[in-house]
Amino acid sequence: MVHHPGVPFNRVKMLQRFNVTMFNAVTLKQYNIVTLKEDIYMAYRRRYFDGVVTTPLIVPSAVTEEKIADNAVTSRKIKDETIMSVDIGAGQVKTEDIADGAVTLSKLGADVSIVPLEDGAVTTTKLADGAVTTTKLDDKAVTEDKIKEGSVSSLKLKDGAVTTPKIATGSVTPTKLSFTPATRPLTPPITSAEIGTKEVKGINIDDEAIDTDKLEDGAVTPPKLEAIDTPADGETPTYNAAQAKFEWKAPAAPPAVGVYVPRPANTFDINIGLLVRDGSLQIDGLDLSGIVPAGALAVELEVWVYGPVTESDIRIFRNQTYQYNRAVARLAPGMDFGLCYHFIVPIDADRKLDYTIQGSTLQGMITVVGWFI
């Protein structure tokens, strides 16, 4: 080995190993070896030192398949939309490589046919959650059997859907009403047929709310009266003060005092509303001498009373001596309908009777319907 003056031995050895043909076959003798020593050293370093080969030093297409280590090319090294069909090997695309829903009908080849499903082939397990949409349902396909009990909430009902025929008998309880019985609209008004037997009690009726004009003829039937017993044929109601209820009794037989003479009357004789009604005893207050003939022994009176909301009565006496020869027509508290009484009262020769009235609001009429002579 020749050692050149001015060049370290290790550098000379390096230069001898370096292929100087890369300098266009120029020999070292043509140049001052001292001026070239650094450039040649750096070229050698770039060739043989790790990590010094950068992208500009690589010749196009210099990196061949055998230069690439196995598994060195990762997904990040592959440019998007670079891999074409010819790059994919036959049979390399597996089920797990295909995205869900990626294979459409247009992707199927001419040799691929779709076999129609057999009837009943689509079972519950074949259906994806939410697969059966509204458009998949045939008109009127959802029958009663398909609706789960309790699934129809208020939100599912269209306004006006619940008509009268849809409401089961007895389903509308008081809690379902938007009003109370006291505030029930009275259009149309409540008819007699709507009122249950013995359902209307005094506490349910305002004072003086029902007058005679409000009562339909025949509306007050025996079941409407709160009585101790039930009536038998021919019995009339009387008031039992001890039990504060009506009691049905047969009319008392007229006394055998003589011949009964009926009187044809087309109007009442005495207006109770014009009598003294302060509870005081009115001696000879009922003068019947203009109606009953002289010689009469007893008189039959029809007494009709109505109107008060407190207990009221009218008591008619023969005279002060025989106060138990009397007639009593009474109305119980809260009774807003009239009662008709028939009495036979003995009468003196002057044909005048005493009376007393309890209840300043008592109304009614007294009519002489006959007498005994």
Q: How many domains does the chain have?
A: 2
In the predicted structure, residue 22 carries a pLDDT above the cut 90: no
Of the pLDDT bands very low, low, confident and very high (cuts 50, 70, 90), residue 3 is very low
In the predicted structure, residue 273 carries a pLDDT above the cut 70: yes
Q: Respond yes or no on whether the N-terminal peptide bond of residue 188 is cis (omega within 30° of 0).
A: yes
Give the mean pLDDT of 233-246. 87
Give the mean pLDDT of 284-290. 94
Is residue 256, in this structure, part of any structural domain at all? yes
Tell me if residue 43 falls in helix, strand or coil: helix
Is residue 240, in this structure, part of any structural domain at all? no
> Which of 318, 309, 373, 295 minimizes the C-alpha distance to 337?
309
Residue that has been written with the tokens 């006394």 in this structure:
255
Q: Is the pTM of this model over 0.75?
A: no
Beta-carbon contacts of residue 20 (< 8 Å; ≥ 6 apart): 26, 27, 28
Q: Which of residues 57, 79, 96 is at a domain's end?
A: 57
Is residue 244, in this structure, part of any structural domain at all? no
User: Residue 187: CA atoms inside 13 Å, Cβ hemisphere, count?
Assistant: 0
Q: Which of 115-119, 167-171, 339-343 has the lowest mean pLDDT?
A: 115-119
Query: pLDDT tens digits for 73-91?
Result: 887 888 888 888 887 888 8
pLDDT of residue 31: 45
pLDDT of residue 342: 92
In angstroms, how far is the first alpha carbon of the chain from the final one?
Answer: 188
Q: Which domain holds residue 262?
A: 249-372
Axis crossing angle, helix 33-48 with helix 9-17, rounded to the nearest 10: 60
Is residue 355, in this structure, part of any structural domain at all? yes
Query: pLDDT tens digits for 101-114?
Result: 778 777 777 777 67
Is residue 89, in this structure, part of any structural domain at all? no
Is residue 155, in this structure, part of any structural domain at all? no
Q: How far is residue 3's CA from residue 81's CA, in Å, rounded to a whole number?
A: 59
The domain that holds 330 is classified in CATH as: 2.60.120
Query: pLDDT tens digits for 139-185?
Result: 888 888 888 888 888 888 888 888 888 888 877 777 777 766 566 66
Please indicate whether residue 24 or residue 193 has the higher confidence score (pLDDT). 193
Q: How far is residue 223's CA from residue 210's CA, in Å, rounded to a whole number?
A: 18
In the predicted structure, residue 322 carries a pLDDT above the cut 80: no
Is residue 331, in this structure, part of any structural domain at all? yes
Please indicate whether residue 353 or residue 196 has the higher confidence score (pLDDT). 353
Is residue 43, in this structure, part of any structural domain at all? yes
257 neighbors 372 (Cβ within 8 angstroms) = yes
Query: pLDDT tens digits for 295-309?
Result: 999 999 999 998 766
Beta-carbon contacts of residue 300 (< 8 Å; ≥ 6 apart): 254, 260, 342, 343, 344, 368, 369, 370, 371, 372
Q: How far is residue 209's CA from residue 357's CA, in Å, rounded to a whole number?
A: 24
CA dihedral for 21, 24, 27, 29, sign (positive or negative): negative
